[in-house]
Amino acid sequence: MIPVSTTRPARTHARVLRADVRVALDGATDTVTLHGPVSSLVLRPVRGALRTVLDRLGGEPLPDDELYEGFTPAERVRAAALVERASQLLAHSVLSGDEAPLRRELVRLEQTARDAGYEPAPVDTDAAVRLSRFAFCRSRDGVLVLESPLVKFRAVLADRGARELTAALGQPVAAGRAGEGTGLGPQESLDVLAHLIGAGFAEAAGPDGTFASDTEPKLRQWDFHDLLFHSRVRSGRYDGIFGAVYPYQGEIEPRPAVKPVPPGEAVDLYRPLRRDIDARDPSLTAAIETRRSHRTYGERELTAEELGEFLYRVQRVRVHHTPGADSPGADEVISRPYPSGGSLYELELYVTVLRCAGLAPGIYHYDSYGHRLVLVNDAEVDRRSLLNVASRSVGFDVRPDVLITVTSRFQRMAWKYRAMAYATTLRHTGVLYQTMYLVATAMGLAPCGLGNGDADMSARVLGLDYLEESSVGDFLLGTPGQDPAIAGDPGPEWHMVNSPEWSLPGEASFAP
Ligand SMILES: Cc1cc2nc3c(=O)[nH]c(=O)nc-3n(C[C@H](O)[C@H](O)[C@H](O)COP(=O)(O)O)c2cc1C
């Protein structure tokens, strides 16, 4: 097949200042500052042709011959250098084939990362083309945009024909026919395709008829949502507002640092004494080196005293900071035994008690301020539902003494952080897991973190609003049994490396 490249690219490829860029001119010093959503650019001195090109960029999208019209070769070189420098604050536009003033902007590509760049791709009219598996459309600032975690541009689908062409790319279609019925002319469709393929939103099938986003081994192993999440929770690839910016300050009240205790019967928990724990705890190294995941449990029941000690050492509130005259405007925060970004401590624990001496079976909220358990659900069927999901994660019917559901009060994080709030919550969940593992190990109990739980079902049985507070982690706890994976020889396929003696319990460990 003979590749047919798009024609008239210079006439249909235009540049324009992004709509979200503000231009500030200081006439006294000939300084122009371009204020973008996340970065600004100061240009100095801006006179003559440079001033003209900036004025033109602030109007309708213009192809190069109109952008630099009337310039001497030297002026054109300097103006092109300015356009290059301001690239992140400019958009690429694909224009219809009409002459001005009928000419329309079909698609606008806005750069979302500093190091972005693309060339329109040659398009073979017979080639099958399709959207990348990672591309998606959404409404942003009232317009339909096409985005992808693989692409450092955002395509604003300005024109109805471009929107319909994009929709047609939901399934493989011959490039030359993709624009049929969209209102775009054949050449206009090819122009838009050249940019969408060149940037990476769409792809042409390979010689075997497959698409790279389906078959290339690295891409194949990325789930759509995982790659999108990864691309947005670290700064650099996307131009959204990022970090501790308090986006809702003055508009929405922050959630209190301590969750209001839900209504229900409350049970005061045992409070361990620090000196007793100091006297019997193993060393930190002994706890770290002997920590294991346990999935079977002993004949002895967990006791309410052990559960009280465990929760106290893991999750109790140990400091409460209520901002006053000394720190006006500061966040209301608390402290717990593990670290938390911004001291926001958005995680809550719910304890499903299945077998515990001194505590009735039931699903309890842990009141970490009052160190109490508050009964939120006593239905046996709901305990079983939670346990069934945990059993699926483990691969067999587990019978822990308690199942701990970790929830997040999402708006605690989102009130302060943009883009990274949920990612930080997942990090906190990991921090909490390790704290639970180590405290359980130090106490001679049997811990196991789980990788999955049913956030909808647990929200229902815990009486929570899914969007306000729902589960992000699940953890099993019980008394240790004879776990064949732990006791004795692990088998010939396991090879101890780097100081095997480190994993043996020290003399001082496991007193209880
Ligand atoms: C985040 C996380 C998720 C886990 N998910 C599961 C799980 O769903 N099912 C399970 O049986 N074990 C789960 N585990 C336990 C791991 O399988 C275990 O930590 C790993 O095999 C290493 O063994 P060890 O903990 O005994 O050193 C999880 C552990 C973590 C930290």
Query: Is residue 237 in a domain?
Result: no
Is 437 near ligand 1, meaning CB less than 6 Å away?
Answer: no
463 shares a domain with 328: yes
How is residue 247 annotated by DSSP?
T
Residue owning the nearest CA to atom 3 of ligand 1: 451
Query: What is the identity of the amino acid at 342?
Result: G
- The answer to whether the CB of 92 falls within 8 A of the CB of 158 is no
Is 398 near ligand 1, meaning CB less than 6 Å away?
Answer: no
405 shares a domain with 279: yes
Residue owning the nearest CA to atom 1 of ligand 1: 451
What is the ipTM, given to two decimal places? 0.98
Query: What pLDDT was estimated at residue 395?
Result: 97
- For residue 455, report the distance from its CA to the centre of ligand 1, in Å: 19
Query: Is residue 252 in a domain?
Result: no
* pLDDT surpassing 70 at residue 208: yes
Query: Is residue 277 in a domain?
Result: yes
* pLDDT surpassing 70 at residue 485: no
User: Mean pLDDT throughout 200-217?
Assistant: 97
Query: Is residue 41 in a domain?
Result: yes
* Backbone torsion region of residue 8, taken as left when φ is above 0, otherwise alpha when ψ lies between -120 and 50, otherwise beta: left
Distance (Å, whole) CA 38 – CA 240? 7
* pLDDT surpassing 90 at residue 345: yes
Is 210 near ligand 1, meaning CB less than 6 Å away?
Answer: no
Residue owning the nearest CA to atom 6 of ligand 1: 450
277 shares a domain with 408: yes
In this structure, what token pair is assigned to residue 374? 């508050």
C-alpha pair distances (Å), 300 with each of 136, 401, 488: 53, 10, 21
The last residue of a domain, from among 190, 212, 232:
232
Query: Is residue 493 in a domain?
Result: no
Domain carrying residue 226: 9-232
Query: What pLDDT was estimated at residue 503?
Result: 74
Is 51 near ligand 1, meaning CB less than 6 Å away?
Answer: no
- For residue 393, report the distance from its CA to the centre of ligand 1, in Å: 10
Query: Is residue 259 in a domain?
Result: no
- For residue 292, report the distance from its CA to the centre of ligand 1, in Å: 9
Omega prior to 122 cis, within 30 of 0? no
pLDDT in tens, 115-147: 999 999 999 999 999 999 999 999 999 999 999
Query: What pLDDT was estimated at residue 10?
Result: 59
Query: What pLDDT was estimated at residue 7?
Result: 44
Is 438 near ligand 1, meaning CB less than 6 Å away?
Answer: no
pLDDT in tens, 395-451: 999 999 999 999 999 999 999 999 999 999 999 999 999 999 999 999 999 999 999
- For residue 448, report the distance from its CA to the centre of ligand 1, in Å: 6
Number of domains the chain contains: 2
The last residue of a domain, from among 206, 232, 258:
232
Distance (Å, whole) CA 109 – CA 94? 8
How is residue 480 annotated by DSSP?
B
- The answer to whether the CB of 387 falls within 8 A of the CB of 379 is no
Mean pLDDT across the chain:
94
pLDDT in tens, 217-257: 999 999 999 999 999 999 999 999 999 999 999 999 999 99
**CATH number of the domain encompassing residue 295:** 3.40.109.10
Residue owning the nearest CA to atom 10 of ligand 1: 394
In this structure, what token pair is assigned to residue 231? 């691309």
The β-bridge partners of 418 are 243
176 shares a domain with 46: yes
338 shares a domain with 211: no
Of 255 and 504, the one with more pLDDT: 255
Query: What pLDDT was estimated at residue 37?
Result: 80
User: Mean pLDDT throughout 85-110?
Assistant: 94
Is 446 near ligand 1, meaning CB less than 6 Å away?
Answer: no
Query: What pLDDT was estimated at residue 4?
Result: 36
